[in-house]
């Protein structure tokens, strides 16, 4: 039997990536084509979905050409991409307006309207979340309130990767992980909430059928085959939003194993065996791309971005390696110096756009090494806030943390993270995130692996491990409560600084 290959497609904010893996999970080829971003007004963030399709088509063609793999050997395609974006289509499937993206901030009035119509506590109990400007539901209401002529023509709501699915297969469909991220889902039943849709005046027929991550949702059409080079009829799996697919890509698919991404922003991703909800909605609670699983997600806005700002502002001529070397000799706790990493406001656990960054506790004794280490520790404490919420919401013991992103590349920061979180921090052999997870989901759908955990065990290998340092654990046990006291103490001052 000829070797099989699986294609993962990731339509992110910046580009569309195509990634081809073989049936052992080895990456064979990767290609990426860029997108442009439009900000026609302050706080607005939009893209033209038709540009995504052009980028996806180019990336698929490039991967097939560079790999030399014939299209008949691509057994299945999996999809992932930026979450929450609104793609509004008419009866014929034509785009009615530019997609409103996850990072668009125009919809605060609509978020307040959602809470008023449904009741904030009731909304949290149904969807697992509070209404935030990033989510899809308030974007639909914004079009309803501000562009009634456009809204009147609307017949279909899709998310970014699902527009790519429509172009590939001609089918309207969505996976359950991304569906939950619209906050129009009943989290427990893993499908659309009739109550939420009715109270928001959104027609149920606009919302597509939903599928578990590995399930097939259609096959490549003749038109899409001509545009991409794929074989007509190639099955396309449901896939998952970028965070759920990224968790599959690092093997965070079982309770107790947590995914930790330390990029510009920071994400803590924890698989849950049931639809757990943080009572105040301080954590995102969504369905997982793994069938029958859910997840918690905590997001901090300036993780490695805090270190980038610090270096660029205070030590622009130094390399990161030299900067971090100075911090190695500073004891855990930075001799009382604390850093608040709220340089861009915050999401978890403080959903506060007015939160600000700060160094607190500076003395004449502190030097640059202390400040550098305080930045690393402050970001680590911010991530621990999400871990603490996840554990208190019922997840239980966290046995292993799977790290990814630029912030986990340095040994010093890995050690600080492991000690602050008091958990083993491991790195893995996969670095392609969501696209890799989408390809694994396609492989499961095609029968290459029996289920998602089996696929992850076969394809993903641990490449390094950092265990907590007992002395550091004790030091951080004492300094973390001080960190926790700072935001409440400074919040009124932050509000006055707006």
In the chain, how long is the greatest CA-to-CA distance? 71
Cis? peptide before 177, omega within 30° of 0: no
Q: Write the DSSP string, 419-454.
A: HHHTSEEEEES---HHHHHHHHHHHHHTTSSSSHHH
Strand residues in 189-333 grouped as ranges (E): 191-192, 210-211, 216-219, 235-237, 257-262, 266-272, 284-287, 294-300
DSSP state of 362: -
242 annotated active-site? yes
Q: Write the DSSP string, 6-65.
A: EEEEEE-SSEEEEEEEETT--EEEEEEEE---B--STT--EE-HHHHHHHHHHHHHHHHH
State how far the Cα of 170 lies from the Cα of 221, in Å rounded to an integer: 7
Spell out the residues 6+ positions from residue 413 whose beta carbon is closer than 8 angstroms to its own: 262, 324, 376, 380, 407
For 166, the token pair is 């429509």
Per the residue annotation, which of 203, 242, 321, 451 is the catalytic one?
242
What radius of gyration, in Å, describes the C-alpha atoms of the chain? 22
For 73, the token pair is 């050997």
State how far the Cα of 427 lies from the Cα of 106, in Å rounded to an integer: 38
Active site (catalytic) residues: 242
């Amino acid at each position: 039997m000829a070797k099989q290959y699986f294609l993962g497609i990731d339509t992110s904010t910046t580009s569309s990536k195509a990634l081809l893996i073989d049936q052992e999970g080895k990456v064979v080829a990767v290609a990426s084509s860029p997108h442009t971003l439009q900000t026609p007004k302050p706080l607005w963030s939009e893209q033209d979905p038709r540009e995504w399709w052009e980028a996806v088509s180019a990336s698929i063609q490039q991967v097939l050409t560079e790999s030399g793999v014939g299209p008949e050997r691509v057994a299945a395609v999996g999809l992932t991409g930026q979450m929450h974006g609104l793609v509004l289509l008419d009866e014929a499937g034509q785009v009615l307006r530019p997609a409103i993206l996850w990072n668009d901030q125009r919809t605060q009035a609509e978020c307040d309207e959602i809470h008023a119509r449904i009741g904030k506590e009731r909304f949290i109990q149904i969807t697992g979340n509070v209404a935030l400007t990033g989510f899809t539901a308030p974007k639909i209401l914004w079009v309803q309130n501000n562009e009634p002529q456009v809204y009147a023509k609307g017949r279909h709501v899709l998310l970014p990767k699902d527009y790519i699915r429509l172009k590939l297969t001609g089918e309207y469909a969505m996976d359950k992980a991304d569906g939950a991220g619209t906050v129009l889902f009943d989290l427990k039943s893993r499908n659309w909430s009739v109550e939420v849709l009715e109270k928001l005046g959104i027609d149920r027929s606009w919302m597509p059928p939903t599928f578990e991550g590995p399930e097939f949702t259609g096959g490549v059409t003749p038109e899409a085959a001509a545009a991409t080079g794929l074989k007509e009829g190639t099955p396309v799996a449901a896939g998952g939003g970028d965070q759920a697919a990224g968790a599959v890509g690092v093997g965070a698919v079982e309770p107790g194993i947590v995914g930790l991404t330390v990029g510009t922003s920071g994400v803590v991703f924890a698989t849950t065996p049931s639809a757990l909800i943080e009572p105040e909605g301080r954590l995102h609670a969504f369905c997982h791309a793994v069938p029958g699983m859910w997840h918690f997600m905590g997001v901090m806005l300036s993780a490695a971005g805090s270190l980038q700002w610090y270096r660029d502002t205070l030590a622009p001529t130094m390399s990161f390696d030299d900067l971090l070397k100075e911090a190695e000799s500073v004891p855990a706790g930075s001799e009382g110096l604390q850093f608040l990493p709220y340089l861009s406001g915050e999401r978890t656990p403080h959903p506060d756009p007015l939160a600000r960054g700060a160094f607190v506790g500076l003395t004449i004794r502190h030097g640059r090494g202390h400040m550098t280490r305080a930045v690393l520790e402050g970001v680590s404490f911010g991530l621990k806030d999400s871990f603490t919420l996840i554990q208190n919401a019922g997840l239980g013991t966290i046995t292993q943390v799977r790290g990814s992103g630029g912030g986990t590349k340095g040994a010093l920061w890995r050690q600080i993270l492991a000690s602050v979180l008091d958990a083993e921090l491991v790195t893995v052999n996969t670095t392609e995130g969501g696209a890799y997870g989408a390809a694994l989901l396609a492989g499961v759908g095609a029968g290459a692996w029996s289920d998602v955990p089996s696929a992850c065990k076969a394809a993903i290998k641990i490449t390094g491990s950092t265990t907590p340092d007992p002395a550091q654990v004790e030091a951080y046990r004492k300094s973390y409560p001080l960190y926790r006291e700072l935001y409440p103490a400074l919040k009124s001052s932050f509000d006055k600084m707006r």
